[in-house]
C-alpha cells in the first residue's frame, strides 16, 4: 500500500469561470482536500510557485494567456516540473488534446464532466506522484526567475518546430509573454536576438543529424527549417567553414571536427 501524506492534498484550480466547477469544488472539499483558486493564468502561475500544490487543474481558454502557454511555463519551474497537471476544459478537438498531453499534462478531461470522474482521476495521479515525489525543500530563487522560465519555454517550443518556426508574436504568446519582452529576454540572457538563436539552433541540430543519422542533406535541410539544400549548405559553410558533407565525413571518421571559429582561436 502506498503511504499518503498526513496533510490533505492541495489542489490548485486555474479557471476563469470557477462557478462552472462548483459541484466538483464542493466534492473535493468534502473529501478533505485543500483548494486554492486562480481566475486568470498569471495569478495561477504566481500561486503555483508560491504554494507548491500537489496537483493542478487547468483550463485552456482563458484571457491574457491560454492554458497551454501556462503549462509550458509551469513545466520550466524546477519545483513544479513533476507536479501533475490535468487539463479540465471545453477545448475538445483532437489537436487540442494532443497539444495538452504533449506539453506534459498527465490527463485531459473535457467539460462538461462528472465531478466523481474528475475526483477519481485526481486520486489516481496523486497516488502515482506520491510514489516518487518528496516534499520540496526550497528552490533557489535564481531557478524560479520568471524570465528564465519564459526563455526556456520559448527555446523548447522553437526546438520542437524548427521546420516551421512560428512568427515571433506567436512564439511570445505561446511562452506567456509579448514580442518586446521575449526579444529583451533573449538579448539579456543569450546575447542575441530570437532569430539569431533560431539560426544557431537549426545549425546545431543539423550537426547532430549529420553525425548521428543517415538522412540525406535535403532531408536534414527541411527538418531544421531551410527551404532548400543549397540554402542550408551556404548557411552551414558560412557558420562552420565546411560543407555539410565534409562535416559528416569528419564526424563519422572519428576525426576532431575543427570549425573556422575554433581554428582562429
Q: How many domains does the chain have?
A: 2
pLDDT at 233 over 90: yes
Query: Between 7 and 37, where is the model more confident?
Result: 37
Q: How confident is the model at residue 139 (pLDDT cuts 50, 70, 90)?
A: very low
Structural domain containing residue 238: 146-260
pLDDT of residue 69: 95
* Dihedral, 198, 199, 200, 201 alpha carbons, nearest 10: 50
Regarding whether 204 and 126 lie in a shared domain, the answer is: no
Q: In the structure grid, which three cell numbers stand for residue 162, read together?
A: 524548427
pLDDT of residue 146: 85
Regarding whether 38 and 76 lie in a shared domain, the answer is: yes
pLDDT of residue 132: 61
Regarding whether 125 and 14 lie in a shared domain, the answer is: yes
Regarding whether 124 and 15 lie in a shared domain, the answer is: yes
pLDDT of residue 177: 93
CATH number at residue 198: 1.10.10.60
Helices 194-212 and 146-160: angle between axes, nearest 10 degrees: 50
Cis omega (within 30 of 0) on the bond before 112? yes
Average pLDDT across the chain, whole number: 87
Regarding whether 57 and 123 lie in a shared domain, the answer is: yes
pLDDT at 92 over 60: yes
* Residue 4 included in any domain: no
* Residue 1 included in any domain: no
Q: Which of the listed residues 81, 99, 130 is the one where a domain comes to its end?
A: 130
pLDDT of residue 99: 93
* Residue 211 included in any domain: yes
* Residue 166 included in any domain: yes
CATH number at residue 98: 3.40.50.2300
Looking at residues 153-162, what average pLDDT do you find? 91
Regarding whether 154 and 52 lie in a shared domain, the answer is: no
First vs last Cα of the chain: how many Å apart?
A: 60
pLDDT at 142 over 50: no
Regarding whether 165 and 112 lie in a shared domain, the answer is: no
Q: How confident is the model at residue 145 (pLDDT cuts 50, 70, 90)?
A: confident
Q: Which of the listed residues 102, 130, 158 is the one where a domain comes to its end?
A: 130
* Residue 162 included in any domain: yes
- Other beta carbons less than 10 A from residue 248's beta carbon: 21
Q: How confident is the model at residue 138 (pLDDT cuts 50, 70, 90)?
A: very low
Q: Which residue has the cell 539544400?
A: 229
* Residue 135 included in any domain: no
Regarding whether 27 and 74 lie in a shared domain, the answer is: yes
Q: How far apart are CA 109 and CA 240, in angstroms?
A: 48
* Residue 141 included in any domain: no
Q: How confident is the model at residue 143 (pLDDT cuts 50, 70, 90)?
A: very low
Looking at residues 45-51, what average pLDDT do you find? 91
Tell me the per-residue pLDDT of 235-249, one tens digit each, with 9 for 90 and over.
999 988 899 999 988
Q: What is the pTM of this model?
A: 0.72
Looking at residues 193-218, what average pLDDT do you find? 92
- Other beta carbons less than 10 A from residue 236's beta carbon: 26
Regarding whether 215 and 109 lie in a shared domain, the answer is: no
User: Lowest-pLDDT range, 6-10, 24-28, 191-195, 258-262?
Assistant: 258-262
Amino acid at each position: 500500500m502506498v503511504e499518503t501524506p498526513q496533510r490533505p492534498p492541495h489542489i490548485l484550480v486555474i479557471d476563469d469561470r470557477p462557478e462552472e466547477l462548483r459541484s466538483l469544488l464542493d466534492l473535493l472539499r468534502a473529501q478533505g482536500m485543500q483548494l486554492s483558486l486562480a481566475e486568470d493564468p498569471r495569478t495561477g502561475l504566481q500561486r503555483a510557485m508560491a504554494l507548491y500544490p500537489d496537483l493542478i487543474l487547468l483550463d485552456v481558454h482563458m484571457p491574457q494567456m491560454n492554458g497551454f502557454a501556462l503549462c509550458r511555463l509551469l513545466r520550466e519551474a524546477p519545483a513544479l516540473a513533476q507536479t501533475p497537471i490535468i487539463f479540465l476544459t471545453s477545448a475538445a478537438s483532437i489537436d487540442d488534446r494532443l497539444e495538452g498531453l504533449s506539453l506534459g499534462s498527465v490527463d485531459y478531461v473535457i467539460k462538461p464532466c462528472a465531478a466523481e470522474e474528475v475526483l477519481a482521476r485526481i486520486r489516481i495521479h496523486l497516488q502515482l506522484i506520491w510514489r516518487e515525489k518528496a516534499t520540496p525543500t526550497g528552490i533557489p530563487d535564481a531557478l524560479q526567475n520568471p524570465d528564465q522560465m519564459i526563455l526556456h519555454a520559448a527555446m523548447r517550443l522553437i526546438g520542437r518546430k524548427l521546420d516551421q518556426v512560428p512568427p515571433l508574436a506567436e512564439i511570445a504568446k505561446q511562452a506567456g509573454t509579448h514580442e518586446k519582452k521575449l526579444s529583451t529576454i533573449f538579448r539579456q540572457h543569450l546575447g542575441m536576438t530570437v532569430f539569431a538563436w533560431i539560426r544557431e539552433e537549426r545549425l546545431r541540430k543539423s550537426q547532430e543529424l549529420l553525425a548521428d543519422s543517415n538522412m540525406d542533406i535535403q532531408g536534414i535541410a527541411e527538418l531544421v527549417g531551410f527551404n532548400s539544400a543549397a540554402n542550408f549548405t551556404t548557411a552551414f559553410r558560412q557558420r562552420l567553414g565546411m560543407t555539410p558533407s565534409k562535416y559528416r565525413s569528419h564526424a563519422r571518421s572519428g576525426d576532431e571536427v575543427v570549425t573556422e571559429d575554433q581554428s582562429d582561436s
